[in-house]
Structure 1
């Protein structure tokens, strides 16, 4: 599992480690890893032109020491000092001894235009509010070139703890991060600025229970997947109820059932007006037209996809004493007090627009601060929240680390894809996973299925559902 830590936790771990090491040793470890990453990106170091954007903090020191290492290998290295009187003195001396040179921001144009690689050491992990005007102007010049951009620990201008980008910021091709991942490297919009991320271990040991973000990997997901035993039958494996679809949107019911059938539960009960369409595609589905209360025993419910204005079904499902996944029209139709009053687990799966409506804010606010709004929504509704989008987040109402999904693809932005995800997550709920695990595992599998199905080309929601068995086998393998 990949974990990310707050700035405060990272700095505390750095202080503890520096107390055990000779002065400057930690920065030298970081600089060695940074220089190696730059060399790998360049392919050949000798004769290459490297520009360092150097601020006044430790990130600037890391950049200067890494620049010195590259200069000793034959690169032409120019440091642009944004605060000449406050640049890291030892790092600057090391660069000059290695043959590097310095320029002021006003004289940096020619070096930037010729650069093969630009190393961003402007601001460290404590930076907030975007770049200042002089730094932003430099970054704009860099963006107009063909130079590769490498960020030191975090792209300058993004906020480490929140993933927010409140102004001008560096867009990196590669971010080299030290000792621990920072939340901004995993959560959009900041993640988009980081490019590829390379982790360099420098000996930090943040507390095991101190992570604020978690990202599942194959092994974590494989351990959570429900696998039938020798004595399993369809009822012991779990039955998931799906209350979805309408005369106008029968396809939502078909797609939710498709996801549910591939999610590990033993059977799917469907309730709603799209029964004929569901049976035509999936004859194994148990179909009822008597409403959720009379449909028979289930271990979890999915309600809302394509439901139109069927508030009665939503109300009946929320009254059930089993886990409930609330999606799409169900989010709009649900009585909010009824959601808060539930004692069985509730998993809400809004996209940014639906989350904005539930919170009474603009969609743009949710997209700009996804992590904060996922946490707020979970706390306000006393439910686990799976916030869909460019990075899918799963937040619990009692706090704790937020799960972030690393497997998505933009090709999943297609009609009906969310219905498949809802059915899949609901099936995992019925199979016995917690709301947090069901949402996280479903997002992981769904993201991979989007990648497998699209293979770089447009994809339909039914293709995503059809790819789930292959993804399941890949994860378990």
Structure 2
């Protein structure tokens, strides 16, 4: 699991070490220069003669970059430091000069308070950076607010962003964070230089995990500089496969289909039958014990407390589901969790009645429920965290507007965490906000940010598959959810991880369909659980005993 902490928490952890004289900057610079050496060796096969341009701001972030530049210069790297403010970190500047680095400034007399630093132009600095092997971005640190670099630094960043990138262009390495992102909230509203690699110190920062800023971070490497963050509450987490393996409900030899979870599904309409097929099928393929697909009753009334036979044959919608997944049981009956709303046409009044009745029953019984698409506008004013809303940005904006918040889709996309958190506050539900990076906000302040899927996953029906996966998880762990509602956010993040990995497995590097993602679920779950490796080990052990 990748954990992150706010800038305030990191500063608090630094204070006692700085007071004790611990050389945190030197530790950070040494780790940073080591990461740059790895990049140079991978890129050129050697270090000596490589070119590195260091972009330097006025704070300690620039000091880290200058000290790293000094270490690189002593290894034979041609280092040019470009200062972008009237002052730069004095110790770092002295170290860089002593090591033979060239220092220039975008500000007349800048860098060391006017002591004769040669000036350069934005165009010249951008040209030098474009011709380098590595650009070290040390302009702004963890005090940035997400409005981007400004002044000479902003002009340089904009010039670099407009310079065409080639396969032989520089690798951009961000120092702690890409300069100008919202370090604590992931906003990214101004001039930010996208990094290929971010080397962050002590612990990851929330903006490296949260959208939209995470798209500027590239690969993230966390280096230990001695900060004690164990007692501090993480701000944002990102699950890894081993975390999901611990969350996934796995049957034992005593399990039966009811013990493994029964999931009720109200999805699709005759106009959108695919949503029902994809959602129910994904739940089956993710490993739930049973899926009950609920068709419309003659009265539209659903009473999940009664064991009832199917209503006739369930109609053409149920027929489509059964044709794709004969394992599905059509009709009402007892369930441990629900998926409600995928593909439900707001103009299909009978389906809407069935949906509303099922949602009311789920909320009154305290059952876990995934509320998606057509069910979002049927949500009661308040629900518990066992209810998971799964909107995309436009749907979340509509939900917030219905509750008196004047929000548009673009605002949700610019500040996903803020608006997902607001929806959680207003409704009480766990909120899974779908996007290139999925943000989950749940009980007790839990926040997850998962970026596991390829861009190809933005395809019709993808959300229906995700809803089925999450429903399977909630049904399989319904008793634990009842005892610990805070578990729901972690399960939602786990579903997002498996969904994304299934898309990669379905067609590595190429386009995928929602159906292909669903079909890849059994192998994806097995890989996450380590089942394939465990089977191989068991076979090897049996062979060894022969």
Shorter-chain TM-score tier:
over 0.9
1:335 CA displacement: 4.1
1:160 aligned onto 2:201:
no
Calculate the TM-score normalised by the size of structure 1. Answer: 0.94
Aligned to 2:493: 440
1:344 CA displacement: 7.5
Report 1:159-198 matches (<5 A).
Answer: 159-198=182-221
Q: Could you give the per-residue CA deviations for residues 89-137 of structure 1, whole angstroms, max 9, x where no partner exists? A: 1111111110112112251515334322211111111012211131121
Q: Which of these residues, 130, 146, 166, is aligned with residue 148 of structure 2?
A: 130
1:77 CA displacement: 1.1
Q: Distance in 2 between matches of 1:281 and 1:147?
A: 50
Aligned to 1:259: 282
Report 1:9-24 matches (<5 A).
Answer: 9-22=9-22
Q: Is the 8 A contact 1:317 1:324 kept in 2?
A: no
Q: Could you give the per-residue CA deviations for residues 209-251 of structure 1, whole angstroms, max 9, x where no partner exists? A: 4101111111111111111122211111110000011010011
Q: Is the 8 A contact 1:426 1:438 kept in 2?
A: no
Q: Could you give the per-residue CA deviations for residues 235-282 of structure 1, whole angstroms, max 9, x where no partner exists? A: 111100000110100110000011111233210000135100011111
User: How large is the Cα RMSD of the aligned pairs?
Assistant: 1.5
1:354 aligned onto 2:356:
no
Give SS of 2:53's match: strand
Report 1:41-190 matches (<5 A).
Answer: 41-43=39-41, 44-84=46-86, 86-105=87-106, 107-108=120-121, 109=124, 111-128=128-145, 129-143=147-161, 144=163, 146-190=169-213
Give SS of 1:393's match: strand
1:414 CA displacement: 0.7
Aligned to 1:403: 448
Calculate the TM-score normalised by the size of structure 2. Answer: 0.82
Over alpha carbons, which structure has the higher Rg?
A: 2
Q: Is the 8 A contact 2:149 2:157 kept in 1?
A: no
Give SS of 1:390's match: coil
Q: Is the 8 A contact 1:260 1:426 kept in 2?
A: yes
Q: Could you give the per-residue CA deviations for residues 51-84 of structure 1, whole angstroms, max 9, x where no partner exists? A: 1111110000001000000100111111111124
Aligned to 1:291: none
Aligned to 1:297: 334
Give SS of 1:319's match: helix
Give SS of 2:445's match: coil
Report 1:310-349 matches (<5 A).
Answer: 310-320=351-361, 321=365, 322-332=367-377, 334-337=378-381, 340=382, 342-343=383-384, 345-349=386-390
Alignment CA distance shift 1:211-1:343 (3 Å):
closer
Gaps of 5+ in 2: 107-118, 296-314, 402-406, 482-487, 531-546
Q: Distance in 2 between matches of 1:472 and 1:231?
A: 21
Q: Distance in 2 between matches of 1:67 and 1:470?
A: 46
Report 1:180-259 matches (<5 A).
Answer: 180-259=203-282
Alignment CA distance shift 1:201-1:354 (3 Å):
same
Q: Is the 8 A contact 1:64 1:91 kept in 2?
A: yes
Aligned to 2:428: 382
1:282 aligned onto 2:325:
yes
Q: Distance in 2 between matches of 1:79 and 1:444?
A: 40
Q: Is the 8 A contact 1:347 1:384 kept in 2?
A: yes
Q: Distance in 2 between matches of 1:172 and 1:30?
A: 18
Q: Is the 8 A contact 1:352 1:388 kept in 2?
A: yes
Flag as ranges the 4+ runs of structure 1 deviating above 4 A: none
Alignment CA distance shift 1:188-1:343 (3 Å):
closer
Aligned to 2:7: 7
Alignment CA distance shift 1:370-1:97 (3 Å):
same
1:207 CA displacement: 3.7
Q: Distance in 1 between matches of 2:453 and 2:231?
A: 27
Aligned to 2:25: 27
Q: Could you give the per-residue CA deviations for residues 373-395 of structure 1, whole angstroms, max 9, x where no partner exists? A: 11111111110011110111111
Q: Could you give the per-residue CA deviations for residues 153-172 of structure 1, whole angstroms, max 9, x where no partner exists? A: 00111110010012111111
Alignment CA distance shift 1:427-1:117 (3 Å):
same
Q: Distance in 2 between matches of 1:113 and 1:458?
A: 33
1:391 aligned onto 2:455:
no
Q: Distance in 1 between matches of 2:231 and 2:453?
A: 27
Gaps of 5+ in 1: 289-294
Q: Distance in 2 between matches of 1:386 and 1:68?
A: 45
Q: Could you give the per-residue CA deviations for residues 427-454 of structure 1, whole angstroms, max 9, x where no partner exists? A: 1111115322331211111110011112
Higher mean Cα deviation, 251-260 or 201-210?
201-210
Q: Distance in 2 between matches of 1:193 and 1:100?
A: 28
Q: Distance in 2 between matches of 1:178 and 1:430?
A: 40
Q: Distance in 1 between matches of 2:142 and 2:461?
A: 39
1:343 CA displacement: 4.8
Q: Is the 8 A contact 1:375 1:399 kept in 2?
A: no
